[in-house]
Amino acid sequence: MTGVHAALTANDFVGLFAHFLVLSLLAVGGAITTTADMHRYIVADHHWIDDTQFTTSIAIAQAAPGPNVLFVAVLGWNVGGPLGALATMSGILLPSTALSLLATRWGTARRETRGVRAFTTGLAPLTVGLLMATGWVLAEPYMIDPAHRLGALALIAISVVVMVRTRWSPMWLVGLGAAAGALGWA
């Protein structure tokens, strides 16, 4: 069943919680880096919501003030109402919070060791790869639609150039994307 607040069973809520529990441990660089797998699980595998609802859920949460992880609650809400939001948020927050507290204490005490330095250095390419996968999932619906393809490609190219070559705040790019969307260009 596709739609907001699909009729989920107790097993569906447990599965949703468990899936986000695992994603929490993969969320190097924040929960947004696991968006590709969230999309696969919620949209492609279970058809609880569609591509538009998925992308809109993320856009609404990212536009709101507050922590970046709010999009997980909006996804959960759109999948299963209040219980869906509880399942996704508790799943994404519990393990990462506990692991972060433990790892921070352990790493701080050993920050000058070769292993800790190598580990933190190795996380950079992993984070970049996860963010690229997230960008792909969020851009794909616009790349498929011929009416928005050129605008989406232009916004992607502009964003890459600006982020690589300047120190401008990404908020300028968010504003540019909002304006392009409002004008129907992307």
Q: How high is the pLDDT of residue 5?
A: 57
Q: φ and ψ at 110, to 5 degrees?
A: -125, 25
CA–CA separation, 13 and 182 (whole Å) = 36
* Domain spans, the chain: 10-121
Mean pLDDT for each 10-residue chunk of the chain (186 residues)?
Answer: 67 97 86 93 96 91 85 95 96 89 89 88 86 85 87 89 92 89 83
Q: How high is the pLDDT of residue 116?
A: 86
For every residue of 64-104, DSSP letters joined together read SSS-TTHHHHHHHHHHHHHHHHHHHHHHHHHHHHHHHHHHH
Q: How high is the pLDDT of residue 174?
A: 86
Per-residue buried b or exposed e for 141-174, using 16+ beta carbons within 10 Å of the residue's own CB: ebeeeeebeebbeebbeebeebeeeeeeeeeebe
Calculate ∠ Cα 59-137-48, nearest 5°.
Answer: 75
